[in-house]
């Protein structure tokens, strides 16, 4: 934003920022839907894995290491389940989407702040300041 902003430049910049804000809001809606779906898939997988660990134990590989356990106590099942690759991958996806949603929100706040500053500039231009 320039110190010598005129009315038409300010209006053009406001229109550009409004367009960006609209796109960001649509992107936020899309990302929130994806985040909700990722949360749903993660929780569903975590729950299934907790029950499976408690009832059957775990037989599989994690980072090249083979594991074969009998049933796991309820108190340990959740912590262990979070480390099972399928569950951990879903959690990573969910957490990544959370980060993206947070970044979009921060950009929305930034654009709104810029719009407020431009509005203040327009008010000053109208008053002749």
Q: What is the DSSP string of 96-129?
A: HHHHHHHHHHHHHHHHHHHHHHHHHHHHHHHHT-
Q: What is the pLDDT of residue 55?
A: 94
- Does residue 25 lie within any of the structural domains? yes
Q: Which whole number is the average pLDDT over 64-76?
A: 92
> Measured between alpha carbons, how far is 52 from 79 in angstroms, rounded to an integer?
13
Residue 126 lies in a domain: no
Task: Tell which residue, 3, 8, 13, has the closest CA to residue 118.
Answer: 13
Q: What is the pLDDT of residue 124?
A: 85
Angle at 75 between CA 72 and CA 81, to 5 degrees: 60
Question: pTM higher than 0.85, yes or no?
Answer: no
CB 40 within 8 A of CB 97: no
Structural domain harbouring 100: 7-121
Residue 127 covered by a domain: no
- pLDDT for 72 equals 92
pLDDT range class, residue 118, cuts 50, 70, 90: very high
Cα 22 from Cα 52, distance rounded (Å): 45
**Per-residue pLDDT, 3:** 53
Asked whether residue 22 is domain-assigned, the answer is: yes
Residue for token digits 């947070």? Answer: 102
Give the number of domains in the chain: 1
Average pLDDT over residues 104-127: 93
Decide if 35 is inside a domain.
yes
Residue 2 inside a domain? The answer is: no
Q: Is pLDDT above 80 for 32?
A: yes
Does residue 64 belong to any structural domain of this protein? yes
Residue 121 has pLDDT above 70, yes or no: yes
Confidence of residue 88 (pLDDT cuts 50, 70, 90): very high
**Domain for residue 128, yes or no?**
no
pLDDT at position 106 over 80? yes
pLDDT higher than threshold 80 for residue 5 = no
pLDDT at 2: 47
């Amino acid at each position: 934003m320039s110190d010598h902003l005129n009315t038409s430049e300010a209006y053009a910049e406001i229109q550009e920022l409004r367009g960006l804000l609209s796109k960001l809001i649509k992107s936020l809606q899309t990302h929130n839907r994806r985040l909700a779906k990722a949360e749903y898939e993660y929780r569903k997988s975590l729950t299934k894995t907790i029950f499976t660990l408690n009832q059957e134990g775990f037989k599989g590989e994690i980072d090249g290491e083979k594991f074969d356990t009998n049933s796991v106590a309820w108190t340990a099942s959740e912590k262990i389940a979070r480390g099972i690759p399928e569950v951990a991958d879903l959690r990573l996806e969910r957490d990544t989407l959370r980060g993206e949603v947070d970044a979009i929100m921060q950009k929305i706040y930034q654009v709104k702040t810029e719009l407020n500053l431009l509005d203040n500039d327009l008010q000053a231009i109208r008053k002749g300041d």
